[in-house]
Structure 1
Amino acid sequence: MSAQPPPPPQWVVDLNSPPPSKPKNSSIPDPPGYTASLTRKERAISSKQSSRKAPTSEEMDTLKMKKAWEVAIAPVKQLPMNAIGMYMTGNTLQIFSIFMVFSLFKTPVMAVLSLQKTFAMFETPGTSNRLIAVKLTYILTNMLMLALGIWKVNAMGLLPTTKSDWLAWEGERTWSERAVPREWL
């Protein structure tokens, strides 16, 4: 008695058999690019044959400039989230708020210092002059992030903005006249 192997699961049978042909009078059209009559091999061959043409240098420069602008305005997109984080940490000196403020100062400074490296992949002879405005925008957006950090430090009371913050450097007052005789004091 030889044991026959069990029949394959239904999903294997469905995978190996071609899908049933769709009736031609169906009201739902095929999606764009779908051809039911082609097999997998025929589709692979047709996709290789219908490869798209390479973009011209002007088109590549346009695409690089679009991507460079996206990189330049990325810090502004992070600004609302950082502002919410600053609001949520409160104005007291705690480790979490200190780390948040530290990152608000470190991130823009490091981004501006690595400016050339950030935009090196977009640098071509056709885009070099147009990248100046993009780089200036990138610096400006990072300075907005730095301004948020300065605002937070001021809200925490760490910036010396009042007269009482400078009392250590105040000299003793010399009175030119007194309302009370000196002996009474």
Structure 2
Amino acid sequence: MSNWSVDYASLNGSLKVSNPVGFEASALQRLSKSEKSQRQIGSDREDQHQVAIKVKRAWDVAMAPAKSIPMNAIMIYMSGTGLQIFTVMVTAMLFFNPIKAIMQVQQTFSRFESTGAARYQPGADLLMVKLAFVGLHIVTICLGVYKVNAMGLLPNTASDWLAFIKPKEILEFAA
């Protein structure tokens, strides 16, 4: 036999293996009531901290549409009011993307929902976060409505609805 081999058949059953480094036998004992309450207080603090982090991340996701509003405003300004393919695509984007995001609001925020007892902690409710998310997307939809009106596609006069009324004649154009 070599120096590095062990013959397990020769070992007797009374061989005792020492505890690993860092192992405390007292950790296996049952906790007293005071120790349990102290650990529960510690876990409550951890739950509150986790809830606060989740709510902060949820607010970050809810405020993300606010960052795209100035970019969308510049896009509708730069695309002009004519009926070109680029203008129509930009205007369609102002409607479809926010509507799709509003329809998926529960899926978007499901990862931030607290479970168990943490659900009932103060500040764990995500209603205001979801309302802010939906409100910012509605602002983007309003930009789309403004663009459609500027392009002359929004029916807002009586002549747009009734065939016997003549459209308003514009007497002067500003260049």
Shared fold by TM > 0.5? Answer: yes
Aligned twin of 1:95: 85
- Between stretches 121-130 and 76-85, larger displacement belongs to 121-130
Change (3 A) 1:150 1:130: same
CA distance in 1, matches of 2:65, 2:140: 7
| Root-mean-square deviation over aligned CA pairs | 1.9
Which of the two has higher C-alpha Rg? 1
1:110 and 2:105 aligned: no
Letter of the 1:61 partner, please give it. Answer: V
Q: Of the candidates 68, 81, 87, which is equivalent to residue 71 of structure 2? A: 81
User: Offset of 1:130 from its aligned partner?
Assistant: 1.7
1:150 and 2:131 aligned: no
Q: State the TM-score, normalized to the length of structure 1.
A: 0.59
Contact 1:68 1:119 (8 Å CA) reproduced = yes
1:63 and 2:53 aligned: yes
Change (3 A) 1:127 1:152: farther
Three-state SS of the structure 2 residue aligned to 1:147 is helix
Q: Of the candidates 85, 100, 110, which is equivalent to residue 120 of structure 1? A: 110
Determine what percentage of the aligned residue pairs are the same residue. 44
Aligned length: 117
CA distance in 1, matches of 2:159, 2:66: 35
CA distance in 2, matches of 1:78, 1:127: 31
User: Offset of 1:163 from its aligned partner?
Assistant: 2.7
Letter of the 1:165 partner, please give it. Answer: D
Q: State the TM-score, normalized to the length of structure 2.
A: 0.62
Runs of 4+ in 1 over 6 A off after TM superposition: none
Three-state SS of the structure 1 residue aligned to 2:163 is helix
Letter of the 1:121 partner, please give it. Answer: R
Contact 1:65 1:122 (8 Å CA) reproduced = yes
User: Offset of 1:144 from its aligned partner?
Assistant: 0.4
Aligned twin of 2:128: 133
Letter of the 1:141 partner, please give it. Answer: L
User: Offset of 1:166 from its aligned partner?
Assistant: 2.4
User: Offset of 1:167 from its aligned partner?
Assistant: 3.3
Change (3 A) 1:127 1:94: farther
- Compare the two structures and name the one with the higher helix fraction: 2
Letter of the 1:72 partner, please give it. Answer: A
User: Offset of 1:124 from its aligned partner?
Assistant: 0.8
